[in-house]
Structure 1
Amino acid sequence: MIYYVEDDDSIRKLALYALHQQGIDAEGFSCDSEFKAAVARRVPDAVLLDIMLPDTDGLAILRRLRSNQETATVPIMMLTAKDAELDKVVALDDGADDYLTKPFSLMELTSRCRALLRRGGMNKKTPDSMKLAGIELSPSHRRATVDGKELKLTLREFDLLEYLMRKPGTVFSREALLRSVWGWDFDGGSRTVDVHVQTLRQKLGDHAHLIETVRGVGYRFAEVGE
């Protein structure tokens, strides 16, 4: 989830529309008070932050986020009409990860947002191993076993299984799986996901039922205990 703090309604709505069209989950706020309340409810994966805001200076918000343990590592990109070199230097020195000057192209905005989200993913600590219903994965070693027997999975099969297992019970559309497992630049169709799910189920054998098909939507890993 990306939070975008921008007091100009037209710019904010247009940017959010562009992000949503690219499958990026984003929410907009017109002022710091709205943004602060949202962060208290849920810490975002990345933040787009305008410098000139009606109630609080964007740089002050940036410093506040960096001083808070929960938001200290959240990737932040500053968006502003200011193009002075000093503003850019100050923002970066205060902890901003990126800086984009208005007017900006929506294509560049979405591209930089994807980079922010990737950076945020690298900052998050993920477990070295996970085990559900007899299936055990070790992402760092790229190793998978079922009831102690090693599985020979392709790169995509492993990534797909790992992605589903990280959120058991959560339904993912084929499009969402393509973006998250294959990447934004992959130009194949959703049939690719179906094929990989089929081969993955074959390799899982008696555990194939754990990858459930949700008709008309996509797939999920069954919500079961060990």
Structure 2
Amino acid sequence: MRGFIIIIIQWYITMKKAFSLLALSAVASSAFAQDDNWYVGLNVLNTNAEHKSTVSGIVSDSYGVTVPARVNFSDMSKETGFGLNLGKQILLNNQFAVGVEAEYLSFGSFSTTLKMSNPSTGMVYDIVDDKSEMKVTAFNLNIKPKYYFSDTDFYLGGTAGVGKYKADFKSLGDGSNWGFNYGIEVGYDITSELSVSAGYRLFMTDIGYKGGDIELELDSFYAGLAYKF
């Protein structure tokens, strides 16, 4: 009987220690899950630009008569650019995180062919200097939710944000306006400080110039590297 009581007491002490260790572990896990991490990142983008122009002007026809015309852009090139970002990631639990970041983007200088057409007749007029360039940059504020797959360092994430876009046209000058973007990415945390990612984002804005607007749509595939600190 005495031996049985001793066994019960030892079992109770062992279980108490086990529950204490589990409680400490849970507290430590919870504290880790709520850690906030600042990060800096670099992305390389390959961007295809599309547009819808309502910019107007005037040209002289073959008889020397001045007529109204609309500027059209065609054969816009694909360009490689870069993005720099600074943000803060908050771990909500072991699988979900959300980041808030500010970023600067330089999409590159897109070459394009300019044509002018009469909006009433549809007649196309040649422009002597029909080649132009458009340099596009942006400052964005983004929200980035992430889902980490169980027991892995892989994640699936999304991006949504707003910002100020600027387009510098060789032929039309500078223009800027607000725009927005959204996208999806996949990534992998190589270490607790370093991660890699790849994804797709769509940027849309409406740049105003004298005589009309240019609706820009930028489709970008990108790969990036981020460092947490």
- Asked which structure has the greater RCO (Cα within 8 Å, sep 6+), the reply is 2
More strand by proportion, 1 or 2?
2
- TM-score of the superposed pair, with normalisation by structure 1: 0.24
State the TM-score, normalized to the length of structure 2.
Answer: 0.23
Higher helix share: 1
User: Bigger radius of gyration, 1 or 2?
Assistant: 2
